[in-house]
A and B are shown apart, each in its own frame.
Chain A
Amino acid sequence: MDEIGNPLDSHIRPPIVTVSGLSKRYGSVIALDDVAFSIHRGEILGLIGPNGAGKTTLFECVAGVQPADRGTVVFGTGYETARRGDVLFYLPDGIAPWPDQSVEWALKFFLDFFGGRRDLVDDMINRLDIAPLRRKRIGALSQGQRKRALLAMGLLTPQPVLLIDEPFEGLDLRQSREAAKTLRWHASLGRTLFLSIHQIMDAGHVCDRFVLLSGGRVGGEGTADELASLAGSRPGVTAPADFEEIFLALT
């Protein structure tokens, strides 16, 4: 079975998270400005933007880690609304939780405390090459090792939507590809993934749809083809050749 799925038609999948009018300021700095988009069930949605675009702030506002100044985040299909904690789990970037504990303990804690999926543990350990790290302290891991361990923990959580901030940060090329394959495989099991990625080429490999964010504003939302059409319709822009050109044209 091909693990790289086809781009999804967002129109036939109901939104599981709907964000509208989300704004956030830090003093005089506008981090998010009237952001609106939807996450559809079963898709891998990529939040693409350069450093400082507001990706992490957007993730934290959607996940409820930070309060937004304005806007709404609705969880559910429109017919039913659900509690945030029942719908999504957010895996931040740049953290080293429980640095004195072993990776093995942390995986078990995720299973026991967050009610993680035990049936996926062996797969995660194999796919993300966690076995050699199991007895190591989280605080003693390299950045790439820690990222893989955290990805495994996040992917074990039971919520239908998983937000991962920079899933490929700190990973080398081979590890990034393995992680991307693991994410696609995970989505094929029915999980909805929302990934924040600043490397545009990485995003192109793994995501079904994209939200382009620049300067706290959404520059476009859709599949690569939809975004290419949108970029092509802009005055003075010829048909963009690749995803980087699409991004530059729309942001």
Chain B
Amino acid sequence: MRLRSHPWPQLVRKEWRELLSSRAWWVMIFLVGPLVGVSFIGAVRTYAEASGLGGASAGVGEAFSPLDGIWAPTFVAYEIAATFLLPFVAIRLVAGDRQSGALKLEGQGPMSPFSRMGAKALVLFGGWCLAGFPALVAGILWKTYGGSAYPPELASVALGHLLNAGLTIALAIAIASIAENPSTAAILVLSFTVGTWILGFIASLRGGMWELIAKFTPAAMLDKFQHGLIPLGTSLVALVFIAVSLGIASLWIRLGVSTRRRAFESAGLVAAAAALVVACAFVHPSWDVSENRRHSFPEADQEALARIQGPLHIEAHLAPEDPRRSDLEHQALSKLRRAMPSVEVRYVSATSIGLFEQTSAGYGEVWYELGGKRAMNRLTTEEAVLETIYGLAGITPPKETEPSFAGHPLIASPRGAAVVFFGLWPAIVAGFGVFVFRRRT
């Protein structure tokens, strides 16, 4: 009788060995340290200046949050690495099997294509998590400088970047499974990323449907997490995208199936995914984990708004590029959608910049309709919006009892950061890399 362990751990171990043999992964790990270093050192210096370094006004620093001042800019290094380095690592892991002929052998093994792609994704994700070590070091350094760290905010930023990496890995695996050549796969993955940037740009100009779609691009998703908001719907869309990409990869990595059949099955999977994404677009819950609760109204207002029955319709006559529209959206409407059970917002404009609409009758007006009553207010501040809604609902505005966020100003220089990120980290990675490669040869 032949006894053997389950093949899944064997497969994961094999993928891990392949990752460690990949120069692309070592290069990524090597570069992540200096990238984080540049971002972190710049962020600490800017934070110190804003906090009043060198006799500058301390007013800005008082409202400063490490989320905006330190974590978001430091983690930008991971956005760069996920865009320009991680896809190559993932493509190498998939395309290498095809080029070496290992695919033909492993395809005859006991694991399903989805399990095989899952093992690759898992290992790549693990490899990416190791690349997160410099961020951890940055956090420790920041604490040694006396900086403040609010764990939920940090967790939100880290989660956003992990989801973003998951999207990149899944997309790269899917494309590398379809494309015969790794260079083609690399071009296609980068084209997708650049395409989402273009989509975001068009959305900012055109609004409407473009804006709706652009909400689900990786950059838009990351932006929310980096500002301390964990949106359930967007997170679900990302998870659907990851699952579907791995599903498509499994369809294309199978042996003995015609291209036509793979294409049909992929189209079916994409159609099912599109339905799921549309369903996820209606999932509105989100969690504001920012220390200053920037995505929420004060507690008393939140409670008062939650009690208002009936749908609230808002019609804003503001063009996509009008700064007032951005103010209205960020200061009030995004919070309102989270606070009230039913809010419908409609933007009306004839042009994208609104410059030549200023003289048109009605431009700049924001109309509110609640329970059959209508009111108009041109102001786009949080206070003005709340006042109008309370007026329509016939509610007395609650008294503000929350103290305003004090901020965590800190005048500190990034001591030791350059040595750690530009010297120690590359040296350690290079040392480990040489050790691993010498053991193999």
List the interface of chain A (C-beta within 8 A of B): 60, 63-67, 85, 89-92, 94-102, 105, 109, 111-115, 117-118, 137, 140, 158
Contact = CB atoms under 8 A, between A and B. Distances in A.
A65 B4 contact: no
B256 A65 contact: yes
B275 interface: no
Interface stretch (B11-19, B343-351, B370-378): B11-19
Interface in B300-334: none
Given A67-B258, A95-B105, A113 B100 contact: no
Contacts of B101: 92, 94-97
A112 B110 contact: no
A100 B2 CA distance: 29
Given A100-B440, A101-B21, A113 B108 contact: no
Given A66-B256, A85-B108, A137-B440, 17 more contacts: A63-B256, A64-B256, A89-B108, A92-B105, A96-B100, A97-B100, A97-B102, A105-B17, A112-B7, A113-B7, A113-B10, A113-B11, A113-B109, A114-B7, A114-B110, A115-B2, A115-B4
A99 B109 contact: no
A66 B108 CA distance: 12
A98 B108 contact: no
Which 5 A-B residue pairs are closest in the complex by CB-CB distance? A95-B101, A100-B21, A97-B102, A64-B256, A112-B10
B102 A95 contact: yes
B143 interface: no
A85 B110 contact: yes
A64 B108 CA distance: 9
Nearest to A118: B2
B18 A90 contact: no
A96 B7 CA distance: 22
Contacts of B21: 100-101
A148 B174 CA distance: 34
B255 interface: yes
A22 to B, nearest CB: 13
Contacts of A158: 2
Contacts of A65: 104, 107, 255-256
Nearest to B257: A67
B13 to A, nearest CB: 9
Given A94-B101, A98-B102, A101-B21, A67 B441 contact: no
Interface residues of B, number: 29
Contacts of A64: 255-256
B5 interface: yes
A137 B11 contact: no
Contacts of A85: 108, 110
Nearest to A110: B105
Contacts of A140: 441
Contacts of B107: 65
Interface string B101-142: 110111111100000000000000000000000000000000
B110 A95 contact: no
A98 B18 contact: yes
A94 B102 CA distance: 11
A98 B105 CA distance: 11
Contacts of A113: 7, 10-11, 14, 106, 109-110
A98 B21 CA distance: 10
Given A95-B100, A95-B101, A100-B18, A111 B4 contact: yes
Nearest to A98: B102
Nearest to A69: B258
A95 B10 CA distance: 21
Nearest to A159: B108
Contacts of A91: 105
A6 to B, nearest CB: 30
A100 B17 CA distance: 9
A113 B11 CA distance: 7
Nearest to A65: B255
A64 B4 CA distance: 25
Contacts of A111: 4
Given A65-B255, A114-B110, A158-B2, A95 B104 contact: yes
12 contacts: A65-B107, A67-B256, A85-B108, A96-B101, A97-B97, A97-B100, A98-B102, A101-B17, A101-B440, A112-B4, A114-B108, A114-B109
Given A64-B256, A85-B108, A105-B17, A98 B441 contact: no
B4 A98 contact: no
A98 B11 CA distance: 13
Contacts of A137: 440-441
A105 B13 CA distance: 11
A102 B107 CA distance: 21
Nearest to A101: B17
A208 to B, nearest CB: 25
A97 B102 CA distance: 4
A116 to B, nearest CB: 8
Contacts of A89: 108
A90 B255 CA distance: 12
Contacts of B10: 109, 112-113
A97 B441 contact: no
B5 A112 contact: yes
B440 A99 contact: no
Best-surrounded residue of A89, A90, A98, A113 (most CB of chain B within 10 A): A113
Nearest to B261: A67
Contacts of B5: 112
A60 B103 CA distance: 13
A65 B11 CA distance: 20
Best-surrounded residue of B5, B22, B105, B109 (most CB of chain A within 10 A): B105
Contacts of A114: 7, 108-110
A159 to B, nearest CB: 8
A117 B258 CA distance: 33
Contacts of A67: 256-258, 261
